[in-house]
Structure 1
Amino acid sequence: MLNPKNLLPGEEQHEYYKDRVTRKRRCQYDYRAEDGTLFSCVRLSLEACRSARDEWAANRKEA
């Protein structure tokens, strides 16, 4: 099980699991930004999680 409290700024962690309802493989992903903000998501793949993280980071820079 992931514990985002263990993440240092700039670090990421992920793990795959099987969803009990849909029976599909999912990826849980956590990323701690350099300023200490935590980003978490669940997607079908690690690549999709990283893409969501990059979009999140880009939107933060614009604001």
Structure 2
Amino acid sequence: MKSLNNNGVSTCMAGQENYVYFNLMPRLRRKSRYCQYDYRHEEDGELFSTVAPTLEICRQRRDEWLKNKEGK
């Protein structure tokens, strides 16, 4: 499985996104696939990280975070 961090530190570079899908409980036969998502802000390098069922939801959350950040 791809990792989003190295020794607990995100490998996400400024202005980029990294994501990986994983199964929460692979032994259970129900749908438990999630997306772990990191995005590092271009200007100040602040890291946004979330987990959601789909990449689209992660990106929506990121967009909301960016709007709130710009509104400060």
Asked if these proteins are the same fold (TM beyond 0.5), I'd say yes
Pairwise CA RMSD of aligned residues? 1.7
Cα distance in 1 between the residues matched to 2:23 and 2:33: 4
For normalisation by structure 2, the TM-score amounts to: 0.78
Between 32-41 and 22-31, the greater mean CA deviation after superposition: 22-31
Q: Which protein has the bigger helix share? A: 1
Residue among 2, 5, 14 paired with 1:9: 14
Cα contact 2:4–2:10 (8 A) shared by 1 = no
Question: Which of the residues 64, 67, 71 maps onto 1:55?
Answer: 64
Query: Per-residue deviation at 1:6?
Result: 2.1
Q: What's the counterpart of residue 24 of structure 1?
A: 32
Larger of the two Rg values belongs to structure: 2
Percent identity between the two aligned chains: 44
Instruction: Give aligned pairs, total.
Output: 63
Supply the distance in 2 between the matched residues of 1:54 and 1:16 (Cα, whole angstroms).
20
| TM-score normalised by the chain length of structure 1 | 0.88
Structure 1 portions without partners, runs of 5+: none
